[in-house]
Chains A and B, each alone.
Chain A
Amino acid sequence: QVQLVESGGGVVQPGGSLRLSCAASGFTFSSYGIHWVRQAPGKGLEWVAFIRYDGSEEYYADSVKGRFTISRDNSKNMVYLQMNSLRPDDTSVCYCARDGGWALPAYYMDVWGKGTTVTVSS
């Protein structure tokens, strides 16, 4: 079945780095864009980043621009989120989610992973 599985979360000190991974299966991965969306404890959803199906374009929220980098490896059905210069307010559950559009982005999310927890604390 269509599935996304995140990994790589953990506890990191302020200023540190983490690399999240998202493993996709059950669909033609190379035909879909992928989003990262996060949720701080007890808060709502915040879109973080998007990468097109072929990796040709990336978009970021202002809150992470210059600190986070999204990338993908279509040969491995994987998407990554490199998170640098982490701050306490980056503490969240991070979800990867499939874009609802086939090849042409739709910019809503039709399949979600279960999430991985990032905690930034000294």
Chain B
Amino acid sequence: DIQLTQSPSFLSASVGDRVTLACRASQGISNYLAWYQQKPGEAPKLLIYSASTLQIGVPSRFSGSGSGTEFTLTISSLQPEDFATYYCQQFKISPLTFGGGTKVEIK
């Protein structure tokens, strides 16, 4: 199975900060990576797929990059509604796997 390691596990940041979240795959997955946002008590929400394609309706302050084994999700200017847990997911090889998540909290 492909393991996805997200870092950091926890991030404390302020409104307006630029934040970068990382996701590392245990083997190359080309660009078969998605990012999700999950708020407490809610279902996950798709933000980005194919490593860098923004899902319709997602604010442009979110962006994704990377290929192979190294990926990043960047929030250019953190907003109050962005405090949440973020997960990456690979869809190159079955079984589909998720990273352990990065929790973004208010400093």
Given A45-B87, A108-B34, A110-B55, A61 contacting B43 (CB threshold 8 A): no
Given A47-B95, A47-B96, A47-B98, A106 contacting B43 (CB threshold 8 A): no
Q: Which B residues contact A (CB, under 8 angstroms)?
A: 32, 34, 36, 38, 42-46, 49, 55, 87, 89, 91, 94-101
CB pairs A–B below 8 angstroms (24 shown):
A37-B44, A44-B98, A45-B87, A45-B89, A45-B101, A46-B98, A47-B89, A50-B96, A59-B95, A95-B43, A95-B44, A97-B44, A106-B49, A106-B91, A107-B91, A108-B49, A108-B89, A108-B91, A109-B46, A112-B43, A113-B43, A114-B42, A114-B43, A115-B43
Give the nearest-CB partner of B44 in chain A.
A112
SS class of chain A's interface: helix, strand, loop or mixed?
strand
| Top 9 A-B residue pairs of the complex, sorted by shortest distance between their CB atoms | A107-B91, A112-B43, A108-B34, A47-B96, A45-B98, A108-B49, A110-B46, A44-B101, A108-B91
Contact indicator B46/A44 (Cβ below 8 Å): no
Docked Cα-Cα span, A45 to B95, in Å, equals: 13
Given contacts A95-B43, A112-B44, 7 further A-B contacts (CB under 8 A): A45-B36, A45-B38, A47-B95, A107-B94, A107-B96, A108-B49, A112-B45
Q: Which A residues contact B (CB, under 8 angstroms)?
A: 35, 37, 44-47, 50, 59, 61-62, 95, 97, 100, 106-115
B3 to chain A, nearest CB (A): 12
Among B32, B46, B55, chain A packs the most CB atoms within 10 A around the CB of: B46
Q: How many inter-chain residue pairs (CB < 8 Å) link A and B?
A: 59
Q: What residues of A have a CB within 8 angstroms of the CB of B36 in the complex?
A: 45, 109
Give the nearest-CB partner of B95 in chain A.
A61
Among A100, A107, A108, A109, chain B packs the most CB atoms within 10 A around the CB of: A108
Q: What residues of B have a CB within 8 angstroms of the CB of A111 in the complex?
A: 46
Given A107-B96, A108-B34, A110-B55, A45 contacting B44 (CB threshold 8 A): yes
Contact indicator A59/B94 (Cβ below 8 Å): yes
Give the nearest-CB partner of B101 in chain A.
A44
